[in-house]
């Protein structure tokens, strides 16, 4: 999640990030944050799943590229992602 343009965040915003991290972790998907506010307002406690945090988006993308390259030699697994409760047949 790129937070480059974020100037700061409310407690509700932090709670939303924590909930997103928990939901992703439940499906084995880690949440990665790039460019978190430097004000120290993000202080995950023991209730948060593990987060990877990068100082800026370029560093995060570089790390992701290295991880993706290392995984490219593994057999491909096709996955289809959907959000919950999408209405069917609507456009």
Annotated domain spans of the chain:
11-70
pLDDT band at 23 (very low <50, low <70, confident <90, very high): very high
Strand partners, 55: none
Give the long-range contacts of residues 66-69, CB within 8 A, separation 24 or more: none
Give percent of the chain above pLDDT 90: 9
Tell me what pLDDT residue 82 has. 58
pLDDT band at 91 (very low <50, low <70, confident <90, very high): very low
Once rounded to an integer, what is the mean pLDDT over residues 62-79?
Answer: 63
């Amino acid at each position: 999640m790129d937070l480059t343009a974020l100037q700061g965040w409310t407690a509700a915003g932090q709670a939303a990030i924590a909930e997103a991290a928990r939901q992703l972790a439940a499906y084995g998907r880690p949440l990665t944050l790039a460019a978190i506010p430097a004000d120290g307002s993000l202080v995950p406690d023991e209730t948060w799943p593990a987060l990877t945090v990068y100082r800026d988006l370029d560093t995060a993308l570089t790390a992701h590229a290295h991880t993706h390259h290392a995984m490219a030699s593994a057999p491909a697994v096709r996955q289809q992602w959907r959000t919950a409760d999408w209405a069917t047949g609507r456009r």
